Amino acid sequence: MWLLAWATWIPVCGLLASQLNIQGVAFLKAVAYKPWHKSKRFSDAIECYAQNKAQTPEKLEEAVKFTYFIIDEIKQLLAAHSIFVTPEYVGSAFEGLRVRGEGGGQANIEFDVMLVWDFKEPLTIEASLLPNFVFMKSSADQDLISPDCKPLFFQGYLCPMMVTYKFLHLFRSFIENISKPQNNATITVSEHGPALQIDVKMMLRKEKKILFTIDIVPSLKLNNDEYFVPKVVRGGVHVCKDFAKKNLTWRRSFSVHEKKRLSRILKDENHVKLLKVLKGIRNQDAQMALLNSYQLKNIFLRVCHRMPDNNLWSEKYLGLRLMDLLIELEVCLRKRYLPSFFQPCVNLMADTSFRNFTRLANRFRRLIDDENAMMKLVASRC
């Protein structure tokens, strides 16, 4: 027997009909819950799963401490070259949302750091033909640009690749001068798209080692609260035939805004628990694993926005809220459209690598409908 939790039925859903449109994208007007979705047995299984299968990576605390240490060293070394930056620590690892098994390769811990450059040259933001992408044009005459910054400009536009290369060159020359703590760390630097990737291998006690990466993105802050990162437009869905200046684009970043919003939401441990459970479920299936952490985080933000009352995230509602997350994912997969929470015109599924959206949506639908399939997944370690 199905239970229909209509949007206007506040005791069950906690929503008003007027709340069903978020960021310009309409949600379903009704969510179908089954009796077992709100059973204590299912809630207990979710709790158990969170403890056993959605844990944070081992040695995360040591990796966090070393990341703060190395960024502080880099900040001081850059200052010695009159480059003043403010680090913004963003992403799942700093938010305590990373789970074991997340990410590919040997290093299963990745840290994201934005180095916000206090760029002294006056810049004007110029819109591009693509949503979320802009150009940075000098507001000053070419002859008035400082000699240190002039090589970073091309035809009056700040070139993202030249900024990345400047930081990469400095990092490589600095890395040998960075003092090592007693952890006997080995550090290498490489280019990783718009980011500079620092790979770290640390030897810990009893001959144990930890591998992790630090992705550092040179960033700019304009108009007091707008952040931009280097992002050259290449092939794929973003190609525009008339896009003559595609090598000069910067992408607006909402990572800092996302961090501030999540810091308020994640004060409630059940919110943290459910997002980590969602990641854990994703990590256990090879096809689901093609969904990245940022897509899941935007699904989570959408559901949280729709249900801001923390009482609806209490232990007895864990099953219902997990269903809300899975249903939201299923709907976006069937539409092949997941709007960015902060900029709905940007589809976060546009670059998704898998082809069969329907098959993956059906996998989530099976978990929503089939109690045995869901319980087998979440209760396997309980």
pLDDT 10s digits, 301-332: 999 999 999 999 999 999 999 999 999 999 99
What's the confidence (pLDDT) of residue 209? 77
How much is the average pLDDT of 6-10? Answer: 30
d(CA 233, CA 223): 23
| 293 and 249 together in one domain | no
What's the confidence (pLDDT) of residue 110? 86
Domain holding 40: CATH number? 1.10.1410.40
| 117 and 198 together in one domain | yes
Q: How many domains does the chain have?
A: 2
pTM score: 0.81
| 297 and 374 together in one domain | yes
Examine residue 25 and state whether it is found in any structural domain, yes or no: no
Contact between 318 and 43 under an 8 Å Cβ cutoff? The reply is: yes
Contact between 64 and 212 under an 8 Å Cβ cutoff? The reply is: no
CA 25 to chain centre: 21
| 73 and 137 together in one domain | yes
d(CA 35, CA 371): 10
How much is the average pLDDT of 196-209? Answer: 78
Examine residue 332 and state whether it is found in any structural domain, yes or no: yes
Distances (CA, A) of 325 to 52, 287, 319: 20, 18, 10
Token output for 98 = 């990373």
Examine residue 23 and state whether it is found in any structural domain, yes or no: no
| 352 and 228 together in one domain | no
Q: For 84, what's the count of Cα atoms within 13 Å in the CB-facing half-sphere?
A: 4
| 246 and 334 together in one domain | no
How much is the average pLDDT of 180-199? Answer: 77
| 319 and 196 together in one domain | no
What's the confidence (pLDDT) of residue 83? 93
| 337 and 358 together in one domain | yes
Q: Which domain does 165 fall in, by range?
A: 60-254
- Decide if pLDDT at 22 tops 80: no
Examine residue 259 and state whether it is found in any structural domain, yes or no: no
Determine phi and psi for 89, rounding to 5 degrees: -90, 110
d(CA 98, CA 112): 12
| 317 and 364 together in one domain | yes
| 209 and 341 together in one domain | no
DSSP state of 312: G
Domain holding 81: CATH number? 3.30.460.90
Residue with tokens 């070419």: 142
